Chains A and B, each alone.
Chain A
Amino acid sequence: MSKIIVVTSGKGGVGKTTTSASIAAGLARAGKKTAVIDFDVGLRNLDLIMGCERRVVYDLVNLIKGESNLKQTLIRDKRVDNLYILPASQTRDKDALSKEGVEKVLKDLMRDRFDYIICDSPAGIEHGARMALYFADEAIVVTNPEVSSVRDSDRILGILQSKSRRAELGQPPVQERLLVTRYDPSRVDTGQMLSVNDIVDLLAIPLLGVIPESKIVLESSNQGRPVVLESDTNAGQAYDDAVARLLGEKRPMRFLEAQKKGLFRRFFG
């Protein structure tokens, strides 16, 4: 049985697509057959972050409308085995993303024995975002340590708890987990930034991971490489930890402490 995980946040620009790419690549690298679906119809970007933008032939809307089949539409990643990308369409055909259509695509993927289906949600709480989360078994709520992001994450949690299929059918709820991104421990130390504990207190859901603020995130997107593949960087390792926790491994949180400054930098930094 495939596990469907939505990566969502409410607010835009907090790292949903970056996270979807890294979680999917990490799961595939761990040997799990994984598909990652871009639900941002009209504003396709997962293809760029995954570095397969020139290999897009068909898209999610083609697939839903029956203009292409799953095999034609899925893009196989060239770096990681078991990893497939399902791009969004660039036309603004909102009606195409019907509940029945999305369900059909997910069932096709399940029939193909995918272990994990990662749904990369668009920002906002409108139709696209609701379709991305509707069928989810688990949710990764991506949150920046910043007031509007935290508030929007709480809104999305409300929608997961009332508008998901699990909620509507009275099934066990969607398993929600928090991923804090763009975390800067030195600013937390000086009281300028909400701490991970603050955010966990406010949202009251379990913590999946903390991704430190890092230059590598921009540099990875420049090259179309999921951050998790940069194994020698903090952000890459933090994503790897998050993937391991998704798979049930217990790993301590890392990169929560600011790097100690030397005496010289303490005085003149």
Chain B
Amino acid sequence: MGLIEFFLGKREDQTANIAKERLSVVIAHERSARTQKRGSDPEYLPKLKQELLDVIRKYAPVQEEDVDVRVEKSENCDILELNINLSDHA
């Protein structure tokens, strides 16, 4: 700190605060993108759906849109949800 700054006090522009603010925004943004990506469907899902469809068709006539397979992620566990709609005359 030089003579003038000593008498005038610290400089106004505390750039570290700006850095912290900018970083907290960008990091929060990138983290949320990461967790969303991780929350997307697992790779096996299409194959699982196809095989389930094949098995069900052995016993009942179903269309592809009658079988709904999805994975839902919550904080503590992942849920594999399976919904099969059987038509009336099955």
Contacts and interface: CB of A to CB of B under 8 A. Distances in A.
B59 interface: no
Interface stretch (B13-21, B50-58, B65-73): B13-21
A151 B26 contact: yes
B17 A202 contact: no
Contact of A269 (B1, B10, B19): B1
Interface residues of A, number: 24
A241 to B, nearest CB: 24
A269 B2 contact: yes
B38 A162 contact: yes
Interface string A189-229: 01111110010011100000000000000000000000000
A266 B6 contact: yes
B22 interface: yes
A193 B16 contact: yes
A194 B20 contact: yes
B15 A150 contact: no
Contacts of B6: 266-267
Nearest to A191: B14
B40 to A, nearest CB: 12
A158 B31 contact: yes
Interface of B: 1-3, 6, 10-11, 13-17, 19-20, 22-24, 26-27, 30-31, 34, 38
B35 to A, nearest CB: 9
A42 to B, nearest CB: 28
A198 B16 contact: yes
Contacts of B23: 147, 150-151, 194, 202
Interface of A: 146-147, 150-151, 154-155, 158, 162, 188, 190-195, 198, 201-203, 261, 266-269
Contact of A192 (B14, B24, B38): B14
Q: Which of B6, B24, B34 lies at the interface centre, i.e. has the most chain A CB atoms within 10 A of its CB?
A: B34
A180 B29 CA distance: 23
Contacts of B13: 191
Contacts of A146: 19
A191 B16 contact: yes
A155 B23 CA distance: 12
Contacts of A267: 3, 6
Given A266-B1, A267-B6, A269-B2, A192 B27 contact: no
Contact of A147 (B2, B3, B22, B34): B22
Given A191-B11, A194-B20, 8 more contacts: A151-B27, A188-B16, A190-B1, A191-B16, A202-B20, A202-B23, A203-B27, A268-B2
A195 to B, nearest CB: 7
Nearest to A167: B38
Contacts of A190: 1, 10-11, 14
A191 B12 CA distance: 9
A202 B27 CA distance: 8
A194 B19 contact: yes
A192 B16 contact: yes
A162 B34 CA distance: 9
